[in-house]
Structure 1
Amino acid sequence: MSKLYILLGIIFITHSAYGQSSKITGTITDINQTPLFGVNVLVQNSTLGTQTDENGNFSIQPTSNEKITLQFSYLGFKSKEIKLDSNSNQHIDLGNIILYEGNEILNEVIVEGERLNKFSRKKTAYVSKLPLKDIENTQVYSTVTTELLKSQLVVNFDDALNNATGVESLWSSTGRGGDGAGYYSLRGFSVQPQLVNGLPGLTNGTINPANIERIEVLKGPSATLFGNAVSSYGGLINVVTKKPYVGTGGELTFTSGTYGLNQIIGDFNTALSKKDDIYFRINTAYTTEQSFQDAGFRKSFFVAPSLSYKVNNKLSFSFYGEITQAEQTNPTFLFLNRAAPSVATNLEELGYNNKLSFTSNDLSLENPTQNYRVEMDYKLSDTWQSQSLLSNSSTSTTGYYTYLYDYGILEGNTFSRYLNKQNANTQTTDIQQNFIGDFKIASLRNRMVIGVDYFNQTQTDNSTGYGFYGNVMPNGGFNGDNPFTPEVETDAYPLSTSGVDAVLAAQGVNNIKSKFHIYSLYASDVLNLTDNLSAMIGLRLDHFDNEGNLSNEEDDYTQTTISPKFGLLYQPIKDRLTVFGNYQNGFTNVAPVLVGDPNDGQQTLKTFDPEQANQLEFGVKTNMFNGRLNATVSYYDITVKDRVITDPASPFNKIQGGEVVSKGIEIELNANPLKGLNIRAGYSNNDSETTVSDNTEILNRRPLEAGPETLYNLWANYEFQSGQFDGFGLGFGLNGSSERFAINYASTGEFILPSYTIANASIFYQANNYRLGVKLNNAFNKEYYKGWTTISPQTPRALLANLTYTF
């Protein structure tokens, strides 16, 4: 028995000696020494891994006695690698390991887990070109997440933007060349969506929501970081697309609804090479839809391939593309007279039958669009990274474009139809090089971006001139009397391609090609003066080189502009409550014009300074209850100076010096008060006025592009978490607006479109691999209108049904 005990003892001692392996420990923090919870710690080329605890500590025991590489990754931070010799019986303490916040395109490509507040995404690399949390950013922005879009069964871009506080559609996409995308009012100024993943991305039609990860609406003049080509004085709209992720999976979605809506969407992600970290994702959609009016349609095919390639821990490449083939009839707005009073001053007097389209499905426009972006990212060090970006966009318009205008010459409410055959193309190229740093000078943390930007846009217009094609009355009447001829004509104007082509045969064809370039240098720094007090300082030097019409050298001009930006931010409760203020700048280049009465001799060229917009803003942001409550309340005051207008004393002269003031308040709330319930709400009130102008037509009046004074939106979505109703859910929401001016000039008087409140509701069932949903838009069938010197009827009640399968 004693020999047996000795033998067992020898076996135990031997097993203990050989079975013991190395132990590696450490603590992971950010640059401010704040522990990071849930950091992934992996042994490269193995299945061994762990995560840090709430104090940032980790412990891992490799089984190999050879050299190993530890990988550290965390969403929103740059990944890190440490090479070690792993020997038996050795305890290695790595001490404090710092992870640095990284730009979005350098993050580990992963699928996010269950988020508490699904309607809020408040960290982005695009708004400030730095990886800032919203509560650290002195600028205000709204984010519309993909979860919010899915809960509302959104099938078009206008409905998606209804969720952005203070944004209202002025008119829908027309598809015409140059500016055929939709127009929206934002803080008193018109804006079009022209930014994709932080880079210029154009469209002449509607943006397909199938590839939208989220929409970011930046508030206030944003020229310091983005220039004036893609932004307005009220802000800008950035569309963030879906990107590849680690793994294989996807979705198939089918939506059908009222007015002939059918949409099928496919989303597929896979690894082309797991070993080489190459992942591919493709989103595609086919949509057809009719109009609620007697004519009108839209159909499109969309495909968006994307690729990510992580060469190593320092170098990565990404490619994104969006290709759209679309055809639609352009909405035939009723354009009100901008120079003389109309017979009608409101909708009741107009007698408008909004079920009439005044067009034909034969008169359509085709809008092929392509956007491509290539990104290369290189980690120069733990504190600096290089970001190289190239984007290219092309959008075209071919087909028939029509509009209806009240010239005020013929009796009654008579709108003359004019049309042309569009043949136009716009191409843009943008090249950016950014250097992004996160470093300390003494004890002060700096997060800095330094960049150069080259932007080029070329437009070609070979469209015909506009031809008269009969008159219509809003109630459906018609006559063929041309208001610009002395004779009374009774010609018929059939809405057919042959009839239109016959009239347009007498019109000339444009042969215009224009081009401009923008060369920019910018820098922005977020300086942490203390842990709770930070300042943002930015400056842009912008050189605008306009070649104008390439066949006319006399319209060439250049302008150089400086655009500053400054902000202060104090956090009484760190990462929970912020008080902020900002100064932001925007500008618009103004082309020289020939002035002087040509009957009095040769005209002279007159030059102007760029228009300037300056904003002061103050507000509060919250991130309370572990992210369950995000709120922003802000007050802004924007003053635009040096506006150029036609001289009221002479139509042959232009004068500079107009001033517009736009101020208001915005409130946005994203809440997750209990599990399964998500709430999104917004309210804005805007007061805009032309305060200085030699043009008495607009002086002391609200600009038409400002849209309505008051806007509000709400969406609440609840999914049962247990019991017999587990997986079932309900949604309810409102969108509303105060009345707005369609016309507001001294000589024309006012034409006011009434206020409205639209209610929407949904019901759904969510299972592991599929989702069934039904949505009722405009539940109470409200008749309402939007417009910008126009009258545009909106869609009546519509029912949507949706099936999504996830694999």
Structure 2
Amino acid sequence: MKNQLLITLVLLLSCFFSYSQNGSITGTTIDNTQTRLSGVNIFIKNSNQGGQSNQDGTFEITNIKNGNHIVVISYLGFKTKEIEVSISNNETIELGFITLYEGNEILAEVVIEGTRKNKFSRKETAYVAKLPLKDLENTQVYSTVTTELLKSQVVTNFEDALKNAVGVQKLWSSTGRGGDGAGYYSLRGFSVQPQLVNGIPGLTNGTINAANIERIEVVKGPSATLFGNAVTSYGGLINVVTKKPYVGSGGELSFTSGTYGFNQISGDFNTPIDEDNNIYFRLNTSYATQQSFQDAGFRKSFFVAPSLSYRVNNKLSFSFYGEISQAEQTNPMFLFLNRNNPTQANNLEELGYNHKLSFTSNELTLENPTQNYRVEVDYKLSDAWQSQTILSKSATSTKGYYSYLFDFGILGNDTFSRFINKQNGNTQTTDIQQNFIGDFKLGSIRNRVVFGVDYFNSTQTDNSSGFAFYGNVTPEGEDNNDNPFTLDVETDPFLLSAAAVDAVLASQEISNIKSKSHIYSAYISDVVNITSSLSAMVGLRLDLFDNEGDLANLEDDYDQTAFSPKVGILYQPIQDKLSVFANYQNGFTNVAPSLVGDPNDGPQTLKVFDPEQANQLEFGVKTNLFNNRLNATISYYNIEVKDRVITDPASLFNKIQGGEVESSGFEIEINTNPIDGLNIRAGFSNNDSKTTKSDNTEILNRRPLEAGPETLYNLWANYEFQMGKLKGFGLGLGFNGASENFAINYESTGEFILPSYTIANASVFYQANKYRISLKLNNAFNKEYYKGWTTITPQLPRALYANIIYKF
């Protein structure tokens, strides 16, 4: 008995001493303004030991074995830091205050599910200002659509994702046609296309695949100072942030099936590929098929996105991102209204449109292969300066049949004539950027600076056929084959088959156009912290535009120089919780020369112009209250566009820069997490836009068609049970809507008004550690509604989707 007690005592003492020989590490994470950072990832390299910093920035890692270790501290938007430590018997290592410096997002940390309570708000970004800047420090307004929000809504396409961005409305869907086949959206009174990926040009002639979206950033107002004019509009820009490699390994498989033949399978895989965990590879891929709610129409697509991040050492890192997609679809058939002849119908009720008709067939399709590549090199020059070198290339093509329906206004009975051609074109872009990003003090004043140079090249090739008349239809679905050009009565039917269309197109000429343009730019932006609460942002861009135009036509070449300034001021009455801001922002558009002079007096001369200018004044308030449970932005803006080329009132043979457009409005965005498990996203915007000076009396003092509806609103609430038998179950409810919208708004033709709408959506889900199952109902009340931009486009009726995600 005594021997057994002795043995037991020895074992207990051995365990005790063995445990006591394990040490611990403590510390506090802060940024270089001494603000404590919560949610920072701290882990022991090459182990599964780690955790996150608390609300006050403190952390503790326990039970660490004796020996030498490397502590890795990483946080989104900040440069990863590594600290070497040595643990002896029964020792606690005090690391004290650990300062993290803002940097790029290469090798971003694993976002641990549930650690960020306000999941619909994620405003940390290094793209909007081209340097890491908190939302409360940024004088510019932007909306972020997070991946958590997309999962909550079971979003399957880019258009649905953008419904969550305040003040954004789809004007028309992606047509797939060459040159401008991506979708168009209204933003602050102006049309914009999604043309940026990870802050640099990334073009497409089709729709953007939602499977690789980490988040969408909609930056508001003219943004030419940092991004130029090639990929932005006066209303702002849309930047798609893709999924990137992260520290760790894992991934997920997802399958979604729904109404109208929708099926999508996608995969996400991330892993280190070297023993030292310095090289990480991530692959996202998806395959989707979908049919139309109309009598014809489909889309199928394959997508793959490899990405690689390599951290050579604490100073140097490389990254590569690629997106390769192949899609085939029937192009959506818009009803194009006539801009010159009075319309017979002024609304949908008078038009008698049967929106279930597609007026096309599944034989007439377009293919849209797209490729985007980006290589980035980041080098830490010092604690204060970083170099960022980026090379990106895009290639997008269009091949197949494109058709549209146009109301000539001469055949009567609201007859629309079909025109069709065979698309064959591609666009190639190259962008090279060199940025130097600094964070330093001059005396007691902190400066965060980005200085960069940028070269952008675009080459377009068009070998498409001409457009051929291919019969008439009425909105009710009747056929009428009278030729609107000759008024000859045609009796032969126009068959919607590839062979029949090819026979008609055989007589059409084939374009042979290759055009090219170059943009050389330099820019600088500085965020100056005058005090800890008062800061100013100043920026300037010099832009040299070299247009070669059609390479076979030397007369369309021209050069232009533009300056784009930017100024903002921001004050935080409550540090890191409330900011008041104002900004002045600029945008511009290059204007081609024009022939002027009375031809009766001799040869006309070529007159050059300055770039068209847009200037915005904006002020507002941003909040981050109750430990990040309430993020809100309220702003008012006024955008004035000047120097549009118009006919000189004093001479019909002269052109002057005197046209003006004014757009003003206010926006409210709220992201809140009032209680654990409940996340709410809400937005409201109102825009007043009109053409104030123009030589075109058709549009003078009227709302531009690209401005979209005056009022837009959206809301989504998601609740997940936190405890009890229902833990993991949840539901989502929401709606989005718009006021009535002008499809046509001209002096002589009158108005065609698309009605207002409110669309309700709902979801239920179950969330577990390894999987998530969701059901989503879109357009719950089966509302018939339309969007358009001189067009009439019916939107998707009620649709149900089921989604399952497995994580590994």
TM-score, normalised via structure 2 length = 0.93
- Residue 296 (structure 1) aligned with residue 297 (structure 2): yes
Aligned to 1:797: 798
Summarize deviations over 1:392-430 as a string: whole Å, max 9, x none. Answer: 000000000001111112122111111100001001110
Q: CA 1:361–1:646 in structure 2 vs 1: closer, same or farther (change >3 Å)?
A: farther
SS in structure 2 of the partner of residue 725 of structure 1: coil
* Counterpart AA for 1:135: L
Aligned to 2:3: none
- Residue 476 (structure 1) aligned with residue 477 (structure 2): yes
Cα deviation, residue 553, structure 1:
1.2
Aligned to 1:4: none
Q: Distance in 1 between the 2:718 and 2:102 partners?
A: 32
State whether residues 110 and 248 of structure 2, in contact with CA within 8 Å, keep that contact through their aligned partners in structure 1. Answer: no
State whether residues 301 and 328 of structure 2, in contact with CA within 8 Å, keep that contact through their aligned partners in structure 1. Answer: yes
Q: Distance in 2 between the 1:152 and 1:435 partners?
A: 39
Aligned to 1:555: 556
SS in structure 2 of the partner of residue 675 of structure 1: coil
Question: For 1:17-416, what aligned pairs fall within 5 Å after superposition?
Answer: 28-37=29-38, 39=40, 71-81=72-82, 97-105=98-106, 107-108=108-109, 114-416=115-417
- Residue 716 (structure 1) aligned with residue 717 (structure 2): yes
Cα deviation, residue 369, structure 1:
0.3
Summarize deviations over 1:150-193 as a string: whole Å, max 9, x none. Answer: 11111111111000000000000000000000000000000000
Q: Distance in 2 between the 1:57 and 1:673 partners?
A: 25
* Counterpart AA for 1:340: N
Q: Distance in 2 between the 1:157 and 1:63 partners?
A: 46
Q: Distance in 1 between the 2:720 and 2:56 partners?
A: 33
Aligned to 1:3: none
The percent identity for this pair of structures is 75
User: Please, which runs of 5 or more residues in structure 1 have no aligned partner?
Assistant: 1-11
Q: Distance in 1 between the 2:352 and 2:61 partners?
A: 77
User: Please, which runs of 5 or more residues in structure 2 have no aligned partner?
Assistant: 1-12
Q: CA 1:439–1:754 in structure 2 vs 1: closer, same or farther (change >3 Å)?
A: same
Cα deviation, residue 488, structure 1:
2.7
Q: CA 1:213–1:64 in structure 2 vs 1: closer, same or farther (change >3 Å)?
A: closer
Q: CA 1:50–1:650 in structure 2 vs 1: closer, same or farther (change >3 Å)?
A: same
State whether residues 180 and 204 of structure 1, in contact with CA within 8 Å, keep that contact through their aligned partners in structure 2. Answer: yes
Q: Distance in 1 between the 2:593 and 2:152 partners?
A: 50
Q: CA 1:723–1:541 in structure 2 vs 1: closer, same or farther (change >3 Å)?
A: same
Aligned to 2:5: none
State whether residues 107 and 245 of structure 2, in contact with CA within 8 Å, keep that contact through their aligned partners in structure 1. Answer: no
Cα deviation, residue 804, structure 1:
1.5
Q: Distance in 2 between the 1:767 and 1:41 partners?
A: 25
Cα deviation, residue 545, structure 1:
0.6
Cα deviation, residue 212, structure 1:
0.4
**Matched residues, number:** 792
Q: Distance in 2 between the 1:656 and 1:384 partners?
A: 43
SS in structure 1 of the partner of residue 465 of structure 2: coil
- Residue 633 (structure 1) aligned with residue 610 (structure 2): no
Q: Distance in 2 between the 1:650 and 1:463 partners?
A: 38
Aligned to 2:782: 781
Summarize deviations over 1:22-58 as a string: whole Å, max 9, x none. Answer: 9987665322223445655666667777876666567
State whether residues 43 and 62 of structure 1, in contact with CA within 8 Å, keep that contact through their aligned partners in structure 2. Answer: no
Q: Distance in 2 between the 1:492 and 1:61 partners?
A: 81
Q: CA 1:600–1:497 in structure 2 vs 1: closer, same or farther (change >3 Å)?
A: farther
State whether residues 388 and 433 of structure 1, in contact with CA within 8 Å, keep that contact through their aligned partners in structure 2. Answer: yes
Q: Distance in 2 between the 1:37 and 1:324 partners?
A: 38
* Counterpart AA for 1:103: N
Q: Distance in 2 between the 1:38 and 1:756 partners?
A: 41
Q: Distance in 2 between the 1:453 and 1:393 partners?
A: 16
Superposition RMSD in Å = 2.6
State whether residues 106 and 316 of structure 1, in contact with CA within 8 Å, keep that contact through their aligned partners in structure 2. Answer: no
Q: Distance in 2 between the 1:650 and 1:464 partners?
A: 38
Aligned to 1:619: 620
* Counterpart AA for 2:188: R
Cα deviation, residue 767, structure 1:
2.0
Summarize deviations over 1:228-278 as a string: whole Å, max 9, x none. Answer: 011000000000001112222211111111111111111111121141511
Question: For 1:752-771, what aligned pairs fall within 5 Å after superposition?
Answer: 752-771=753-772
Deviates further, 299-308 or 604-613: 604-613
* Counterpart AA for 1:299: K
Deviates further, 287-296 or 270-279: 270-279
Q: CA 1:286–1:531 in structure 2 vs 1: closer, same or farther (change >3 Å)?
A: same
Q: CA 1:228–1:249 in structure 2 vs 1: closer, same or farther (change >3 Å)?
A: same
Q: Distance in 1 between the 2:25 and 2:151 partners?
A: 44
Q: Distance in 1 between the 2:163 and 2:438 partners?
A: 36
Aligned to 2:9: none
Cα deviation, residue 598, structure 1:
6.4
Aligned to 1:543: 544
Q: Distance in 2 between the 1:199 and 1:490 partners?
A: 53
SS in structure 1 of the partner of residue 621 of structure 2: strand
- Residue 458 (structure 1) aligned with residue 452 (structure 2): no
* Counterpart AA for 2:181: G
Q: Distance in 1 between the 2:807 and 2:87 partners?
A: 42
Cα deviation, residue 565, structure 1:
0.5
Question: For 1:715-734, what aligned pairs fall within 5 Å after superposition?
Answer: 715-734=716-735
State whether residues 107 and 244 of structure 2, in contact with CA within 8 Å, keep that contact through their aligned partners in structure 1. Answer: no
- Residue 582 (structure 1) aligned with residue 583 (structure 2): yes
Q: Distance in 2 between the 1:489 and 1:376 partners?
A: 63
Aligned to 1:665: 666
Cα deviation, residue 496, structure 1:
0.9
Q: CA 1:580–1:485 in structure 2 vs 1: closer, same or farther (change >3 Å)?
A: same
Q: CA 1:299–1:534 in structure 2 vs 1: closer, same or farther (change >3 Å)?
A: same
Summarize deviations over 1:488-531 as a string: whole Å, max 9, x none. Answer: 33332111111111111111000000000111101111111111
Q: CA 1:41–1:467 in structure 2 vs 1: closer, same or farther (change >3 Å)?
A: closer
Aligned to 2:6: none
Q: Distance in 2 between the 1:315 and 1:186 partners?
A: 39
SS in structure 1 of the partner of residue 673 of structure 2: strand
Q: Distance in 1 between the 2:186 and 2:208 partners?
A: 17
Q: Distance in 2 between the 1:486 and 1:476 partners?
A: 21
SS in structure 1 of the partner of residue 211 of structure 2: helix
Deviates further, 669-678 or 162-171: 669-678
Question: For 1:506-525, what aligned pairs fall within 5 Å after superposition?
Answer: 506-525=507-526
Deviates further, 568-577 or 71-80: 71-80
Q: Distance in 1 between the 2:56 and 2:149 partners?
A: 33
State whether residues 196 and 231 of structure 2, in contact with CA within 8 Å, keep that contact through their aligned partners in structure 1. Answer: yes
State whether residues 276 and 311 of structure 1, in contact with CA within 8 Å, keep that contact through their aligned partners in structure 2. Answer: no
Q: Distance in 2 between the 1:62 and 1:801 partners?
A: 44
State whether residues 21 and 88 of structure 2, in contact with CA within 8 Å, keep that contact through their aligned partners in structure 1. Answer: no
Deviates further, 596-605 or 501-510: 596-605
* Counterpart AA for 2:782: N
Q: CA 1:89–1:165 in structure 2 vs 1: closer, same or farther (change >3 Å)?
A: closer
SS in structure 2 of the partner of residue 360 of structure 1: coil
Q: Distance in 1 between the 2:682 and 2:48 partners?
A: 44
SS in structure 2 of the partner of residue 105 of structure 1: coil
* Counterpart AA for 1:531: S
* Counterpart AA for 1:365: L
